[in-house]
Amino acid sequence: RASCFLMLDGVFPSSEGRGYVLRRIIRRALRHGNKLGQKKPFFSLLVDDLCHLMGNGFSELQEKKEVIASYLLEEEEKFNETLNRGIELLDNVLNNAKGNLLDGKTAFLLYDTYGFPVDLTADICREKGFNLDQLGFEREMSIQKEKARTSNKFKFAETFECSDPETNFVGYDTSRTEGTVISIFKNNQLVENAVKGESVFLTLSQSCFYAESGGQVGDIGNLKTDSANVKITNTTKMTNNVYLHHGFIESGEIKVNQSGNLQIDEENRANIKRNHSATHLLHLALKKTLGDHVQQKGSLVNSGRTRFDFSHPNILTNEQIRKVENIVNDEILENSKTSANLMEYADALKSGAVALFGEKYSDEVRVLTIGSSKELCGGTHVGRTGDIGFFKIVNETGVSSGVRRVEAVTGKNAFAYIQETDELVKQVSSITKTPVKKLHERVIDLLESNKKLEQQVEFVQQKWISFIRDSLIKEPKQFNEINIVAKNIEQVDTKVLRKLVDYVKSKISPVIVVLSTLDNEKIHLIVGVSKDLSKKYRASSIVSEIAPKIDGKGGGRDDLAQAGGTKTEGLNEIIENFETILKKLYWS
């Protein structure tokens, strides 16, 4: 009941915040089901029972039961694998423990490597009379987070103080303006000036550059003063609403208190506006196509494309993608005027504007109306829906449990995508000598023919392998009552080669066998030693001895080892003189 009603309120399983609370509730129920002997999915089946009990009082529960059941089933299927593996590993650790304390490092290993939640680890420890080193776990978690933070190549850290006044942003209405340089930061230090070749952060009294926010990337462009030309490569925002213009001094010298002319890259901004406006229409279209459970989970809007993450348990079908595209493009063809108005937050919601679930908003918000969409948004947008031009989804994939991702292009980028796809289709049509409209049938025919050929090849190969197997065990060489088999085998892969080595070991004993094959001038070599010999004549030692002869390296176990190389002359020496190599290695 708790899980279903949380999802009705817009909370879906995730790895953080409210979503993680829901995930923990679900997982706790699944574990108790597992303890009661329920090894197959069961939790999602209870949604019907809940609807029977409470559906009359909560009609929305009945309407959304299929979506809720899909989320629960996905969580259940994924967690069952984790649960079974985690319980087995944890039981093994506890059974071999010397005291009654499970150290934090082991708990973190279960969590980080095997995905076993620490709260379940704590529950199982309690049930078995063990204590969990929670502080040790948290310490390991902190170390992991620090590693992740330091390895993030895309981070931008505010490692300097800046008490400048808020930047006056005028970029909604203009692509150029004048501004005064308030501060210059070089190597995170406040300086009075910067010269050609230096990278800096600039704060200005006024700017037309949009600062990265709400999923939209920052503007790029130029700043020109009487003495310098600065290329602006990005614009970000500090917590005190001061805009940082990431600049590279292309010429001259820039100083504090200088006035300058700012100019954004208009083509770049125009592409961003198209993509951002299309994102709002995409959100609307997804809700219309998939249902009201769709909620934005993240976005990235740049000049190349829009990327939109949203809550939905299943892969979008081709039919659903086409429907979404049609809805967005119909809105574009309407060419309706876009409006953006500042309103009190409460009034905005009363007007029907959609706010992102879990987001924090100020008392005054910007309400964007574009086509049939009305949402809170501070980004830059087209003047009319027709300015978007054309909308095309280019990719749909999963991001995490219950979250899908759509990537799309607009305007000239969408047109270029269609042209590239059209050219590719024409090339395939030409290669297959098939009209475009019949390509689908032709590809199916080719795949079917290819499948039949593969079956024929497999049949012939099995015959060939059977012949090889018989020949390998027919007349092995012998020395000191040990069978020795050495052969290069053509037209087999390493998987088959290993099976042949295992076959020889199973049929002849005691035996030392080396088999090889060539694949695109690369040598694959496997050495096998029967169990009764492997302690004295280690396969790994034999491989170490012969691998240099093929300019390669190798390794493995006592009974089986392998190597790879490229020197075919050395391979011939190994196969022809394997008995001599063994004599020198063990019997000289």
Least trusted range by pLDDT, from 34-38, 123-127, 195-199, 472-476: 34-38
Q: How far is CA 269 from CA 167, 212, 274, 302, 382, in A?
A: 19, 12, 9, 9, 10
Give the CATH class of 275-418: alpha beta
- 457: confidence class by pLDDT, cuts 50, 70, 90: confident
Residue 250 has what pLDDT? Answer: 96
**This prediction's pTM:** 0.68
Cα(343)–Cα(336) distance, integer angstroms: 21
Q: Which pair of structure tokens corresponds to residue 239?
A: 């917590």
The residue ranges of every structural domain in the chain are: 2-151, 168-264, 275-418, 464-587
Q: What is the pLDDT of residues 361-414, one digit of tens each?
A: 888 899 999 999 999 999 999 999 999 999 999 999 998 878 899 999 999 999
| pLDDT at 461 (0 to 100) | 80
Rounded to an integer, the average pLDDT of 167-173 is 95
| pLDDT mean over 208-230 | 95
Q: How confident is the model at residue 145 (pLDDT cuts 50, 70, 90)?
A: confident
The answer to whether residues 243 and 236 touch, using CB atoms and an 8 Å cutoff, is yes
Distance CA 387, CA 335 (A): 8
Residues 261, 178 contacting (CB under 8 angstroms): yes
- CB-CB contact of 367 with 343 (8 Å): yes
> DSSP string covering 6-54, please?
HHHTT----SSHHHHHHHHHHHHHHHHHHHTT--S--GGGHHHHHHHHH
Q: 462-496, pLDDT tens digit by residue?
A: 888 888 888 888 878 888 888 999 999 887 888 88
What span, in angstroms and rounded, lies between the C-alpha atoms of 401 and 13?
7
The CATH number of 168-264 is: 2.40.30.130
Residue 154 has pLDDT above 50, yes or no: no
Maximum alpha-carbon separation in the chain: 95
At residue 149, the pLDDT reads 57
- Report whether pLDDT(359) > 70: no
d(CA 587, CA 580): 10
Instruction: Please determine, for residue 84, whether its predicted confidence score (pLDDT) is greater than 90.
Output: no
Place of tokens 């290819």: 450
| DSSP secondary structure of 500-560 | HHHHHHHHSSSEEEEEEEEETTEEEEEEEE-TTTTTTS-HHHHHHHHGGGGT-EEEE-SSE
Residues in the chain: 588
- Per-residue pLDDT reduced to its tens digit, 494-536: 888 999 999 999 998 899 999 999 888 889 999 999 988 888 8
Mean pLDDT of 308-328: 95
309 neighbors 404 (Cβ within 8 angstroms):
yes
End-to-end CA distance of the chain: 77
> Over the chain, what is the mean pLDDT?
89
Q: What angle do CA 491, 496, 498 make, to 5 degrees?
A: 125
What are 110-138's pLDDT values in tens digits? 887 766 778 888 888 888 888 988 899 88
> Stretch 416-445: mean pLDDT, rounded?
94
Tell me what pLDDT residue 363 has: 86
Question: For 464-587, CATH number?
Answer: 3.10.310.40
pLDDT recorded at residue 355: 83
Structure confidence at residue 155 (pLDDT): 42
How far is 556 from 369, CA to CA, in rounded Å?
65
Distance CA 470, CA 453 (A): 26
| pLDDT class of 318 with cuts at 50, 70, 90 | very high
Closest CA to 374 of 323, 338, 408: 338
Alpha-carbon torsion 102, 103, 105, 107, what sign? positive
Helix, strand, or coil here: 82?
A: helix
Cα(355)–Cα(349) distance, integer angstroms: 8
Give the number of other CB atoms < 10 A from CB of residue 139.
Answer: 14
Please give the structure tokens belonging to residue 409: 């292009």
